[in-house]
Structure 1
Amino acid sequence: MQYISNFTPLLNNVKLSNYVRFFALATVLFLASCAGKQEQAQVAQAPSLPVITISQGSQETFVDYPAAIEGAADLEIRPQVSGTIDRIYVNEGQLVNKGQLLFQISPLPFKAQLNNAKAALQAAQAAVLNAQLEIDKLTPLVQNKVVSAFQLQTAKTAHQIAVANVEQAKASVNNAQINLAYTEIKAPISGYIGRLPKKQGSLVGPADPEALTNLSDVHEVHVYFSLAETDFINFNAKYEGNSVNERLKHLPPVSLVLADQTLYPANGKIDMVDGQFDKTTGAITLRASFPNAKGVLRSGNTGKVRLGMAHNNVLLVPQASTIEIQDKVFVYAVGKDNKVSKRPIKVLGTSGTNYLIQDGLKSGEQIIAKGFESLKEGDLIQPEISKPVTAYNATK
Structure 2
Amino acid sequence: MKKVFIGLFILIFLALSAWLGYYFYKKSNTDPIVYKTEAPFTTDIVKKTVATGSIVPRKEVQVKSQVSGTVEELYVEAGQIVKKGQVLAKVKIVPNIVNVNNAQNTLETARINFDEARRELQRYEQLYEQKVVPEQEYRKYKADYNLKREALQSAENNLQLVREGASRRSGQASNLVYSTIDGMLLDVPVKVGTSIIERNNFNEGTTIATVADMRSLVFEGKIDESEVGKLKENMDLLLTIGAIEGRVFNAKLEYIAPKGVLEEGSIKFPIRAKVLLDEKDFIRAGYSANADIVLDKREKVLAIKESMLKFEKDEPYVEVEKAPQVFEKRAVKTGLSDGINIEVVSGLKTSEKVKVPDANAMVKNI
TM-score (norm 1): 0.59
Correspondence 1:278 to 2:260 = yes
Correspondence 1:268 to 2:251 = yes
* Higher mean C-alpha deviation, range 68-77 or range 328-337: 328-337
Which of these two proteins has the greater Rg computed from alpha carbons? 1
The equivalent of 2:5 in structure 1 is none
Question: Are residues 108 and 210 of structure 1, via their aligned partners in 2, closer, same or farther at CA, if it must alter by over 3 Å?
Answer: closer
> 5 Å matches for 1:364-379?
364=350, 366-369=353-356, 372-373=358-359
Q: Flag structure 2 segments of 5+ consecutive residues without an equivalent.
A: 1-24
Q: Paired residue for 2:79, among 76, 93, 96?
A: 93
1:90 Cα deviation after fit:
1.9
The equivalent of 1:224 in structure 2 is 220
Q: Paired residue for 2:177, among 169, 174, 185?
A: 185
The equivalent of 2:53 in structure 1 is 67
> 5 Å matches for 1:306-317?
306-312=292-298, 315-317=302-304
The equivalent of 1:386 in structure 2 is none
Question: Are residues 72 and 121 of structure 1, via their aligned partners in 2, closer, same or farther at CA, if it must alter by over 3 Å?
Answer: farther
Do the aligned partners of 1:322 and 1:330 also contact (CA within 8 Å) in 2?
A: no
1:181-237: CA deviation from partner (whole Å, max 9, x where unpaired): 23222222233334443221222221476422322221121111234444333224x
Q: How many residues align?
A: 308
> 5 Å matches for 1:161-180?
161-169=144-152, 173=157, 176-177=166-167
**Which amino acid is 1:95 matched to?**
I
Q: Which is richer in strand? A: 2
Q: Matched residues in 1 for 2:288 and 2:125: separation?
A: 77
* Higher mean C-alpha deviation, range 126-135 or range 197-206: 126-135
> 5 Å matches for 1:186-265?
186-206=178-198, 207=203, 210-236=206-232, 248=234, 251=235, 253-260=236-243, 262=245, 264-265=247-248
Question: Are residues 83 and 277 of structure 1, via their aligned partners in 2, closer, same or farther at CA, if it must alter by over 3 Å?
Answer: same
Question: Are residues 362 and 273 of structure 1, via their aligned partners in 2, closer, same or farther at CA, if it must alter by over 3 Å?
Answer: same
Residue 127 of structure 2 aligns to a residue in which SS? helix
1:340-367: CA deviation from partner (whole Å, max 9, x where unpaired): 659999785426xx33347896454532
The equivalent of 2:327 in structure 1 is 339
Question: Are residues 104 and 93 of structure 1, via their aligned partners in 2, closer, same or farther at CA, if it must alter by over 3 Å?
Answer: same
* Higher mean C-alpha deviation, range 341-350 or range 253-262: 341-350
Q: Matched residues in 2 for 1:109 and 1:46: separation?
A: 94
Percent identity among equivalent residues?
14
Q: Which is richer in helix? A: 1
The equivalent of 2:10 in structure 1 is none
**Which amino acid is 1:312 matched to?**
R
Do the aligned partners of 2:255 and 2:272 also contact (CA within 8 Å) in 1?
A: yes
**Which amino acid is 2:127 matched to?**
L
Do the aligned partners of 1:50 and 1:369 also contact (CA within 8 Å) in 2?
A: yes
Do the aligned partners of 2:55 and 2:217 also contact (CA within 8 Å) in 1?
A: yes
1:81 Cα deviation after fit:
0.7
Q: Paired residue for 2:338, among 327, 337, 350?
A: 350
Question: Are residues 368 and 185 of structure 1, via their aligned partners in 2, closer, same or farther at CA, if it must alter by over 3 Å?
Answer: same
Residue 139 of structure 1 aligns to a residue in which SS? helix
* Higher mean C-alpha deviation, range 125-134 or range 297-306: 125-134
1:307 Cα deviation after fit:
1.7
Q: Flag structure 1 segments of 5+ consecutive residues without an equivalent.
A: 1-37, 237-246, 376-380, 383-396
Do the aligned partners of 1:96 and 1:193 also contact (CA within 8 Å) in 2?
A: yes
Residue 76 of structure 2 aligns to a residue in which SS? coil
1:158-196: CA deviation from partner (whole Å, max 9, x where unpaired): 543333334445556497436952322222223333444
Residue 71 of structure 2 aligns to a residue in which SS? strand
1:257 Cα deviation after fit:
0.8
Question: Are residues 122 and 302 of structure 1, via their aligned partners in 2, closer, same or farther at CA, if it must alter by over 3 Å?
Answer: farther
Q: Matched residues in 2 for 1:193 and 1:348: separation?
A: 47
Do the aligned partners of 2:256 and 2:272 also contact (CA within 8 Å) in 1?
A: yes
1:246-281: CA deviation from partner (whole Å, max 9, x where unpaired): x53xx4x4221112584645422223344x213546
Correspondence 1:137 to 2:126 = yes
Q: Matched residues in 1 for 2:321 and 2:72: separation?
A: 86
* Higher mean C-alpha deviation, range 289-298 or range 193-202: 289-298
Q: Matched residues in 1 for 2:124 and 2:107: separation?
A: 26
Residue 218 of structure 1 aligns to a residue in which SS? coil
1:66 Cα deviation after fit:
0.7
Q: Matched residues in 2 for 1:45 and 1:137: separation?
A: 134
Q: Matched residues in 2 for 1:324 and 1:214: separation?
A: 58
Question: Are residues 60 and 348 of structure 1, via their aligned partners in 2, closer, same or farther at CA, if it must alter by over 3 Å?
Answer: closer
Q: Matched residues in 2 for 1:97 and 1:132: separation?
A: 51
Q: Matched residues in 2 for 1:210 and 1:303: separation?
A: 31
